[in-house]
Structure 1
Amino acid sequence: KASGNYTLSILAHQEVAHSGYDEAMLMDPQGYVCQGSGENVFLVKDGVLHTPDIAGGALDGITRQTIITIAKDLGYEVVERRITRDEFYIADEAFFTGTAAEVTPIREYDDRQ
């Protein structure tokens, strides 16, 4: 990661913590979800695992790649693509992945469970 990415992540996390939230969801300039403030994000809809693609600005994380590999090995379809925030509202499940986060469920998004 570049030092500028760390600064953005720290500022985003501080802002959401001040508002009473645990984690930030970062968007790209077009409004698509990229990642959490320090971890990757996944959602599951209809048995398919979706995650923002690297070309769209997602972190190229080791834990992310491990989850993708394991999911494919277990026979799950994995789609790397641009994801809108609205898709998290209707997802069957969602979670963060990262070295520190490991695999952490997202129980609420924009005050929606």
Structure 2
Amino acid sequence: MATDEDALVRLRHASVGAGWELVSGAIDLRGALDQLDVERPHALVVFGPFDDLVALAAERFPGMRIITDRDTPGASVVAASMADVRELLAEQPRPGGPVR
């Protein structure tokens, strides 16, 4: 989630990676919550003053990695800049466990 369309485009470019898929992203709380409910992502990247989204996502999806650009209650980690996002997404543990 980002504050406007231009910021969202920059954030998507900073987040793209071969190891994960991106959803379209959102610039408002309702759009972000709708995507969370439908897509059930493993990670959420939030750049901007969206404390409500971070709190709701952390409450509803306790295992989700939440990356923000500021110290926000419920965030898993803070990115110093958009350039850090891809690396922070890559650090996310993969689902796994013993195969039976």
**With structure 2 as the length reference, what TM-score do the two structures score?**
0.29
Instruction: Identify, as 1 or 2, the structure richer in strand.
Output: 1
Instruction: Identify, as 1 or 2, the structure richer in helix.
Output: 2
